[in-house]
Structure formats: structure tokens, C-alpha cells
Chain A
Amino acid sequence: MERILDVKNLEIDFKTYAGTVHAIRNVDFHLNKGETLAIVGESGSGKSVTVRTLMGLLASNAKVVGGTVDFEGKDIVKMSEKELTNLRGNDIAMIFQDPMTSLDPTMTIGKQVAEPLRLHTKISEKAALAEAVRVLELVGITNAKARLKDYPHQFSGGQRQRIVIAIAIINNPKILIADEPTTALDVTIQAQILELLKEVQEKIDTSIIFITHDLGVVAGIADRVAVMYAGKIIEYGQVDEIFYNAQHPYTWGLLEAMPTLETKSDRLYAIPGTPPNLIDPPVGDAFAARNEFALAIDLQQEPPFFQVSPTHAAATWLLDPQAPKVTLPPEIQRRHQVWEEKFANKGVNA
């Protein structure tokens, strides 16, 4: 698989009154051409900060203190503002969470959709608007030509998110970053938008990074998954590996906290406690305080990545040969069983 983006050893600090927040603490991941990578994590895990770095959109009090972001042979971290401007909306585009605030309420949608095109190519307004119509129809806005002169408030939430997607894809970006694009939408609209993203990916042949905290959504659209906690990636792998053969207790916790149609228990599992403060990150494994499977070494040393398969690795001491065998929670046992039956020894379905 060809790699289109390579993030290595990324470290980002934020200066605040209370001290320096080590928001991203050594993050490594890559994006393959044509795939959808889902980055999963709770609020505060660092997933939004990570993707904003990919477009140079960090807040003014943030500083990249280490690492590289390799895109087409250049390091995005070191790019000048001019190079970043060429990149944004052109090679890499972003869809934000709240469709109510990501559109300019005082601009017609025709102008907004055509804007990225006019910024990056020499094209007349008429031709740009024609392109805008094409793209709006692609994302499912009926009667697009007549609606070019309408304003965002004349559309529903789901339609606005479609317009946001249209703006993002009009320049056929190589990478599309979707930062929780369906979190603010009704569940029926969410289903439609996810369906749309899959279609769009095929039609314009783009690679998607999808950020969410909802594992149900991940199961539907991701090829590969990276799980983040407290500024680090703690497990990554192909989607089936993560859902049916998860190895990190945090991933287990996330899976258990989400009810499925199969689970029969009367009580929801919840990961106790809250994520740690990153001004003073705990020594050792940041998840130890909430981890019912914690080992003594978790309180002293951070676990390295242990490779589970060529595509799957988890940073947990439980995978160390010296670690004791633990009884998996029932939901995880059920999933591992599915893994044994369907996927083990057969190669992984992408």
C-alpha cells in the first residue's frame, strides 16, 4: 500500500496559565492512499489537535516541539504560511463538526462552494459556479443550480453538512479530514452523511482521516483504526483487528461502553474516572489509574508498542511475555471468539 501521509514522533505543547500542557506526546501514524483511517478517542485525547497540525491550523499558544509530518516529500510542520495556504483546501481539506457555524451566514452557498476553486485555480466566476453546481449535485443537494443564490440558513442541518463536504471536495483533495462531522446531527441524517462520504471517496479517489468518539460510526466506514488516549496512540490496526481482537484495556473499555444488538447485559460498562491532566502527565502508563488490569510496571514505565500482527500493535504491558494471563471481560471474550472463528488464520479482510 502506498503511503500518502506519514506522521512521526509528533510532540505538541500548549502554553497555558497553569503550565505547559503536553497535548500530543509522541504520536506516530500513517495514511495509505485510498483508505479511510479512523482516529478514535475521548474529548481531550488529542485527536483534533493532531489533525489540525496536518493543515497548520494550530492555536497561537501551541508549539510543535518535535516530530515530522511528511506529505508528498515535504514536512508540513516546517512549511511556510504561503506553502500552507496552497495546501489548504487544495491538497488537504477539512470538514468540521458543527454545520451551523462552519458556513458563513452572509454568503450565498454558490459563492462559498466556488471559493476554494477560485482561490487555487485561475477560473472565471461563471465556470467556478458551474463546477459548484456539479459538486453540489454530487453531494445530494437537489435543484443545485436554482439554489446557488440561497443562504445557509435556508438549509437543514444535514443539507448544510453536505454543502460543507462540497466545499471540501471541489478541488479533489488528496486527503480529506473529517473532524467529527456527524456528531451534531440526528442519527438518521448521520447515516445519510456517512453513506455520502463513502460515495464521495470512491468518486474522487481520496484518502480520509475520520475523527470520532463513536465506535459504531468507525465500524461502518473505517479501513484502519488508531485509538488515542492522553495524547498518544495506544492501539492501531485494521478495523476487524481492532473490533474483534483488541488488546489494550482502554480499547476494551470503549468497546464495552457501547451497547450492540448482541449484548444482553442489563448494565452498561463504564470506564471509571476521567483522563489525566496533561500538564503533569502521570509517570508510566497514562491509563493506569483507570485500568482494572493495571500491572505494577504500568505505574513506573510507559509500555512500548507490542506487535500483534504486521498491521496491528498495542502499547500495553499485558502483551509482554512476562505478563500474567487475565480474564477478559465477557464482551471482549465474545469478540475474540468471533475473531477466532472468522478471521484468524484466514488473513484479514480490509
Chain B
Amino acid sequence: MSEPEVLLSIRNLVQTFNPGKRNEVKAIQDISFDIYKGETLGLVGESGSGKTTTGRSLIRLYQPTSGEIMYAGNDIAKLKHGSKAMLDFRRKVQMIFQDPYASLDPRMKVQDIIAEGIDVHHLAKDDQDRERQVQALLEEVGLNASHATRYPHEFSGGQRQRIGIARALAVQPEFIIADEPISALDVSIQAQVVNLLKDIQDRQGLTYLFIAHDLSMVKYISDRIAVMHYGRLVELASADEVYNHPLHPYTQSLLSAIPVPDPSLERHRKPIAYSAAEVEDDGKQRDLVEVYPGHFVFASEDEVAGYQNAAKASHAQGGAPATAPVE
């Protein structure tokens, strides 16, 4: 099997807001990881984990405090606003936002919202071409061509998210950062949007960074999953590995808290509590260490052996998610 191509390489990214002041927030504390071409990397964490900040730093809505983001030979962290390199970057990398009610300009027609990128990068030959492209995009996301002349407030949450997806696709990007695109939607609509994203990825060969706050939906779209907690990456492995052989206590706690639509299982499910004091805040030096092929855990030197053994044991057992139902 050929080495998967690295699309984005993040090294020692740090993002601190209001550095040095009383309200200083260390949103991202030195994280490093790669994103491979064509994959979907799920980035999961609860509020305060830094996942949204990571997405926004990667797309340069924020200026990273330090660290490098290598993409197509350039360090994105150092690009200047308004430069040609930045404009190119803005075409290749796009974002889908979380809030369907705030991510579309309420005063603009749907066609103008979608075509904004086309206009900025001069991707349409004339008005007719622009209209044609918009209609093709609407179809791509499962909406009717007649929706182009309507306003956002006439659409449901799920439809608005699809308009947001169409907007991101308009400039023909190769990498899309989806910042909690389904969190604000009903569970039944979440499935629609996730399926749509998957289909588009298959058709167009896109790479995704899928940011989410819980592990249940992320499994279906991610190849690999990275778990964040308080600005640090605590676990990084394939989706299967994370679900069936979770190693870091935080990942185990997160998995155990997911409610399942199965009364027999639910009645016996006991969420595992997580205490950061033991595995994060005790001052020990920790790094992301590969404790099993392809499976990385945030561990100190003396914890590595423990994780390696746990990984071996879990694989021997056949693996199971953090809570075993009592029959």
C-alpha cells in the first residue's frame, strides 16, 4: 500500500487569546498532527477543548500564536492577508459553519450567498455561467433550482446547512473544514447532512476535517479520529480503534456518556467519570505517543507501557466500547 499523501501538516500549534492579560485563554496548547489527502479526520471535544479554535486557526480566521501549518509547501501560519498566496489558499480550503441561522447573510438571496466565492475568484465567465454554476451546486446538495431566489429565513435548519455546503463547494476546494456542521440540527436531519457530505466527498475526492462535540455521528464519516481536551490532543487513531479500543481515560469517559436508543442497554449504562487531575494536570511532561500501530495516546514516559498493555489486551479480547451492557 502506498504511503498516503499528507495534505496538511500541523506542528506545535499554539493559540492563546489575550496573552499576558488577566483574561488570557490558552485555547490550543501545542498540538501536532497530519491530515492525509482524501481522508476524513474527525476532531472531537467538548466545550473548551479548543476544537473550533483549531479549525479557525487552520483556515486563518485567527492568527496562530506560534507553530506551523504546512500546506502545499507553504506555512499557512505565516501568510499575509491580501497576498496572492492567501487568496489561493482561500480557494483550496473552505469552511462549513455550525449555526445554520447565523452563517447565511439574512439580507442576501441564496444565489448570491452561494456565488460569493465564484465572484471573488472570478470563476464565472458571465451572469449566465454564474447562474448555471449556482443551479448545479443547488442540485449537488439536494435542493431545488427554484430556491436560488429565496432568502435564508424561508428555509429549515437542515436546508440552510446544505446552502452553506453549496457555498463552500462553489470555489472547487480540495479541503473542507466542517465546524460542527450538524450540532444544531435534529438527529434525523443530521443523518441527511452527514450522508450528503460523504457522497460529495466520494464524487469530488475531497478531504475533510470534521469537527464535532460528540462521538456518535462522527464514527460514520471519519477515517481517523482525534480527541481533544482542554487544548490538547489526547488520542489519535482510526475510527475503529477509537470506538473499539479507546485507551485514554477521557476518550473512554466520552464514549461511555453517549446515550443509545436501546432501553435495555440504557438502563444499565453507567457513564465513566473523568478526572483531569490524574492524567493531565499533574505537571508531568506528556506527548502523543504511538502505543499501538497507528494509535496515539497523550502519555508521559511512565504511562506508555500501561497503555501499550491495555491496547494489546483490548485487541486480544476482540475489543468493545467503553461500556459493556449487562444482559
Contacts and interface: CB of A to CB of B under 8 A. Distances in A.
Interface string B201-230: 000000000000111110110000000000
Contacts, number: 115
Given A188-B271, A220-B269, A260 B190 contact: no
A244 B190 CA distance: 23
A243 B262 contact: yes
A229 B215 CA distance: 27
Interface of A (DSSP majority class)? helix
B47 interface: yes
Contacts of B321: 261
Size class of the A contact interface (CB-based, 8 Å):
35 or more
**Chain B interface extent, by class:** 35 or more
B313 interface: no
B263 A188 contact: no
A242 to B, nearest CB: 9
Interface string A263-276: 00011111110110
Nearest to B243: A261
Interface stretch (A139-147, A211-219, A303-311, A315-323): A211-219
B274 A188 contact: yes
Interface stretch (A79-87, A249-257, A279-287): A249-257
Nearest to A41: B186
Given A42-B186, A213-B186, A239 B263 contact: yes
B195 A266 contact: no
Interface of B is mostly: helix
A274 B159 contact: yes
Nearest to A185: B47
B302 to A, nearest CB: 27
Contacts of A267: 195, 198, 220
Contacts of B257: 187-188, 190-191
Nearest to A265: B220
A214 B259 CA distance: 9
Interface in B151-207: 156-159, 186-192, 194-195, 198
B194 to A, nearest CB: 6
Kindly name the residue among A216, A217, A338 whose own CB sees the greatest number of chain B CB atoms within 10 A.
A216
B187 A213 contact: yes
B105 interface: no
Interface in B221-262: 253-254, 257-262
Contact of A217 (B190, B220, B259): B259
B139 interface: no
B198 A243 contact: no
Nearest to A260: B260
Given A266-B220, A269-B191, A43 B259 contact: no
A226 B259 CA distance: 19
A282 to B, nearest CB: 16
B267 interface: yes
B214 A218 contact: no
A186 B259 CA distance: 12
Interface string A195-235: 10000000000000000011111111000000000000000
